[in-house]
Structure formats: structure tokens, C-alpha cells
Amino acid sequence: MSGPLLEGRDITVRFGRGADAFEAVRDASLTLHPGEIVGVVGESGSGKTTLARVLVGLQQVASGAVFLEGQPVVEARSRESVPKNERWKVQMVFQDPYSSLNPRMRAWSAVAEALQVWREMTRNQARMEAFTLLQSIGIDESQARRFPKALSGGQRQRVSIARALAPEPKVLIADEPTSAIDQSAQARLANLLRRLRSERNLAILFISHDLALVRYLTSRVHVMRRGRIVESGPTEAVLRKPRHSYTRILLDSLPGRRGEAISNRRGEAISNRRQERRFPAADGSGGF
Amino acid sequence: MKRRPRFLPVDLNRSALVGAAIVLLVIVLSVLVPLLSPYDPVAATGPALAAPGGQHLFGTDQLGRDVFTRTFAAGRLDLILALVGVSAPLLVGTFLGAVLGTTRNRLVAWLWLMVIDAINAFPFVVLVIAIVAVVGPGVTGLLIGLAAVNWARYARIARSRALILRNADFVEATRVLGYSRLRVLVRHILPNVYSETIAYGLSDFVIVVLTVSSLSFLGAGVNPPTPEWGAMIADGRLYLQTQWWITVFPGLALSFTAIGVALLAHGVSGRYAGEK
């Protein structure tokens, strides 16, 4: 296997027409390989979410294309995005855990539905499997029987992840999955994503504006600004020695992290310690 | 405020409890009284215009029919009419609205919306009267009139709700998961639209009860001698100054029912509409 699992090539998304047209994403290209976590960072409105929606086929492109295992799945002017029988391969976790689950469906049921559709299970098999899957990512049976409104933000995000994992996808697009949940839940979710990558050889696109999380999770990172990818490269290198002035501004704008971006021994040491505190169960499988 | 008495399966607040009690009382009486009463609700069973008391609890009307029996026989008819007049349009309108809100066929959606808006633009009662006038008065005509007009209200609500839901993350997730359109409609859109239309349906119940009675009062509804609250009120209005009971008892029953249902609707609708 030579090429990337998922590739976005020169993606441009335009909203509106004529003089009012607004380019949410412009000429963005990125690749994802199996077992790799790639980050996308950028401020609000930089086009991160739009890019994610393109990759799963929720958003039409003005130009450019998305390739899945070398096959084009999203192209300009094609109305039907990712072909139906290919959809299971790329799944998505949405930013807002409060709207990403059907309020009238119990947690296990949302997962079981995806299992029934994609894994050709009977109702009962799917039900059992849903409980097992939820259990494996830290939702116990009593929580699985609840409606979303009785679950916390972090728990809902886990249910969303379980639902996305149900078809056994090859790629997971995680659109700021941690932005609406509290810090300790964020850390556990990050560890969960790490575990999924190693256990399932899952390729994950991790979209975030939390640079500490991005540094902890990803090997490569793309920095977006006003719809363009302005800087790409190995995460450590980009965050430690940003070449683009915008990346530097982004790093500097983080509260309490001033100076971290500029390569500086002391700053590096501080950030490492800070990360240890935030992600105690780094590679251990426990921690839930 | 949330209280949950042990014998109730759901949380009900005080308004809903009082409303439920009134409605339950009306239902029980409407079922039992015509069954147990020795009098035929449509036949003369005593002296005409007898005052309440003794043999005839609510007195008799100008034809000597027992007002007590008639009032609750009317209750049975009115409640059934209102139930059908609400639930049939609720089902049809909700489904249609949900489909219109999610379809990609813009032309069809637009045409249906024109029809819905045209119906909703007319005052409710006026349009029902017009249809009853064409179909002919009576229980069937009344039901046809109600159903033909009322579904559009529900369709409007369901459609606007579905338009919002269409862009909700959990519906987008179903697209990423590649679910069929039917599955998305039945399992994801409809259950979330229903909550909204049911909330409206509860308050609509009052409107429909009053419409049925108003139409019968005007002679465009249930045919005599079938007992119906509006028709009974109309019957008694000539005797109002002397034989008040002919009008007042069905009037009280109607008011009580309307108040009870309104209280119930007010108390329960929050459960449906307020939920996220």
C-alpha cells in the first residue's frame, strides 16, 4: 500500500455567488495514513469545520477532490457526495455533544442502529454489541440505557464516538470533540483517541484550537487561517519553531502559554510538566 | 416544580393534575351515565320542562327528554369527535410536514406549502362551515370538515420543526452514517417533530371541542335529536329566562371540559415543547 488512506486535494469551498461569494476553504490539501493522528488548528472561522465536512461528504466543493484509498469520493459539481456504500469508511465526531445525539434515542440504541445498518446484525446482536462497544470506551451499562439529556458532555462525546466506530471505519474525523467538555474529560477523551488509533489502526483527523491537546495527540499538524492552510509539518517542529507569522500569533495568543512557542528550554520544560499533569494515563489502557 | 405521586407514570405539575382530574371525571361520567341511566337520551321520558330534582337530576327539556342523560351522552359524542378531529389531522399533518421539511424536491415542497398556507390563511371555523355546507351537516360532515382544515395547522408546525432538525448535528450524522432517507425520517426526524405537534394538539383539543359545539349551535354540525352540547345550548336558549337548566347544564359541562383540557395541555405541553 503506497498512497494515503484519505487525501484532500486543493479543496475549495465557496458559499454564496458572484460578488458576495465567500471562500470558506481555499486550496487546502492534506493526507491521512492508517494509524496516524493529524491535527488541524486555527481560530474560529478559519475553515476547520468546513474542511471536515468536506471530507465526510457533508459539504460540496467548488473545486478540488477527496480521495479515499485512491478513489475519488468527493468532486466538484457532483451532487451525490461520498457513495453510499463507501460511507462507513470515514466517520465523524461532531463538535457539539449537545446536538450530535438524537434526544429521543437511548445511547445504546444510537450505536445499535449503526451496527444494524452496517454490520448486518440482528436487533439482538446489535444490542449486545452496542453495550460491549460502549463499555470498551467507558460508558457502562446503566449509562448506555440513558437518554442523551441524562449524560454529561464527555459521556455524550463517547457515545458519538461509539456510534462513529460502529461501522468499523478506517478514518475518524474529530471536529473539536473536546471544545465543549471539561478539562479532565478532555484528557480522558484524548487518551481514548490515542488508544483507538493504536488498537484499531484508525486514522484520525483531530481538529482543535487547543494546542496542548494537538501537541499531545498528533504527529503532524496543519495550521489554518481564513480558509487556507498556512503551515504544515511535524507537530513538534511547527509548534516549537513556527515559520509562519500567524502560527506564532496563534501560539502567543494562548493564555498562560506565552513564550512556549518561541523555542526556549525553560518553556519546553514547563509545557512538558503541564502535559503530564493533564494527561496522567498517557499510554496506560486504564484511566477511565 | 416537579412532584411525582407514586401512582402516576409521569411527572405532572399541579395544573396538569387538576386538568387531568377534570377530564377524567368528564370521561367517566360520559361513559357511565348513558349506560346506567334509565332514560333514553333521544326520547321523551317525562313531563316537558320539568325543573331539576327528583326523577330528573338536571330537569327535562321542552320535549321531555332527561337533560342529565343527554348532557353526558353529548359529552361522549363531543369527546370522541374532538379526539378524532385532533388525532387524525395530527398524524397526517405531522407526517406530511416532516416529509416536506426534509425533502429535496423543492417544487413539490413549494406546491404543498402553497396549499397549506392557503388553508391556514382562512379563519378556522369559517372554512369548516364551508366544507360542512358542501358535504352536509352531521357527524360525518363535521369530521370531514375538521380533518380537511386542521391537518394544515399541524403540517405547518411539523415542517418548520423538520427544517430546523434537518441541519441538526445528529441528522447530519445520519448522512455520514449513510442511513436511508426512510430510516432518518422515521427514527430521527418524526420522533422529534411529534413532541412539537402533540404539544399543539393538546391545546388544539379545546379549540376543536368548542368548534364542534359552535357549529352544532349554529345548526351546521350534529343533527337533532342527537345530543350534543352546542345543539343542546341552542335548544334551550328560547327558555333561558324561565327553564335555565336546559342551557346551563350542557354549558357547564362544555366549560368544564374546555377548562380541564386547557389546564392539562398547559401543564403537559412544557414536557414536550420545552425539551431539548
Kindly report, residue by residue over A219-272, the tens digit of the pLDDT.
Answer: 999 999 999 999 999 998 888 888 888 888 888 776 544 444 433 444 444 444
- Cβ distance of A57 and B187 shorter than 8 Å: no
| Distance separating alpha carbons of residues B178 and A87, to the nearest angstrom | 6
| Distance separating alpha carbons of residues A54 and A245, to the nearest angstrom | 27
Nine cell digits for residue B48: 316537558
- Computed on alpha carbons and rounded to an integer, the radius of gyration of chain B in Å comes to 22
Measuring CA to CA, how many Å separate A36 from each of A54, A194, A204, A222, B160?
19, 10, 6, 14, 42
- Cβ distance of A88 and B178 shorter than 8 Å: yes
Burial-class residue A111 by CB neighbours within 10 Å (0-12, 13-18, 19+). buried
Burial-class residue A66 by CB neighbours within 10 Å (0-12, 13-18, 19+). buried
Of B222, B247, B245, which Cα lies nearest the Cα of B236? B247
ipTM over 0.90: no
On chain A, the residues whose CB falls within 8 A of the CB of B183 are: 113, 117
B165 within 8 A of B192, measured Cβ to Cβ: yes
Measuring CA to CA, how many Å separate B92 from each of A80, A211, B87, B156?
30, 51, 9, 12
A167 touches chain B (CB under 8 A): yes
Residue carrying the nine cell digits 359552535: B214
The answer, yes or no, to whether residue A278 has pLDDT greater than 60, is: no
A58 touches chain B (CB under 8 A): yes
What pairing do the DSSP bridges indicate for beta strands A6-15 and A90-93?
Answer: unpaired
| Distance separating alpha carbons of residues B79 and B68, to the nearest angstrom | 17
- Cβ distance of B192 and A102 shorter than 8 Å: yes
| Distance separating alpha carbons of residues A45 and A123, to the nearest angstrom | 42
Indicate the DSSP class of residue B274: T
DSSP β-bridge partners for residue A233:
A221
Region at B59 (left for phi over 0; alpha for psi -120 to 50; beta for the rest) = left
Residue, of A52 and B55, whose pLDDT is higher: A52
Domain B66-273 classification at class level: mainly alpha
Indicate the DSSP class of residue A94: -
| Distance separating alpha carbons of residues A88 and A114, to the nearest angstrom | 9
- Cβ distance of A114 and B177 shorter than 8 Å: yes
- Cβ distance of A114 and B183 shorter than 8 Å: no
Nine cell digits for residue A276: 503530564
Measuring CA to CA, how many Å separate A189 from each of A97, A171, A199, A275?
13, 17, 15, 14
A103 touches chain B (CB under 8 A): yes
Q: What is the pLDDT along chain B (276 residues), one digit of tens a residue?
A: 444 555 555 556 788 889 999 999 999 999 998 888 888 888 878 787 777 877 888 888 888 888 899 999 999 999 999 999 999 999 999 999 999 998 888 899 999 999 999 999 999 888 998 998 898 888 888 999 999 999 999 999 999 999 999 989 999 999 999 999 999 999 999 999 988 898 889 889 889 999 998 988 888 888 878 889 999 998 888 888 888 888 999 999 999 999 999 888 888 766 655 443
Residue A21: Cβ within 10 Å count: 10
| Distance separating alpha carbons of residues A56 and A171, to the nearest angstrom | 10
Chain B, residues 162-221, CB within 8 A of chain A, namely: 168-170, 172-173, 175-179, 183, 187-188, 191-192, 195
Q: Which CATH architecture has domain A6-278?
A: 3-Layer(aba) Sandwich (3.40)
> CB-CB: which of B175, B176, B188 is closest to A102?
B188
- Cβ distance of B192 and A87 shorter than 8 Å: no
Report whether the peptide linkage leading into residue B225 is cis, meaning its omega lies within 30 degrees of zero: yes
- Cβ distance of A104 and B177 shorter than 8 Å: no
The pTM score is: 0.79
**Averaged confidence pLDDT in chain A:** 84
pLDDT at A161: 94
One-letter identity of residue B242:
T
B30 within 8 A of B83, measured Cβ to Cβ: no
- Cβ distance of A104 and B172 shorter than 8 Å: no
| Distance separating alpha carbons of residues B172 and B26, to the nearest angstrom | 46
Strand order in the sheet with A22-32: A22-32, A6-15, A63-68, A71-75
DSSP β-bridge partners for residue A205:
A38, A173
Chain B, residues 141-170, CB within 8 A of chain A, namely: 168-170
What pairing do the DSSP bridges indicate for beta strands A220-225 and A228-234?
Answer: antiparallel
> CB-CB: which of A58, A99, A102 is closest to B176?
A58
What is the share, in percent, of chain A residues with pLDDT greater than 70? 86
Residue carrying the nine cell digits 493533564: A278
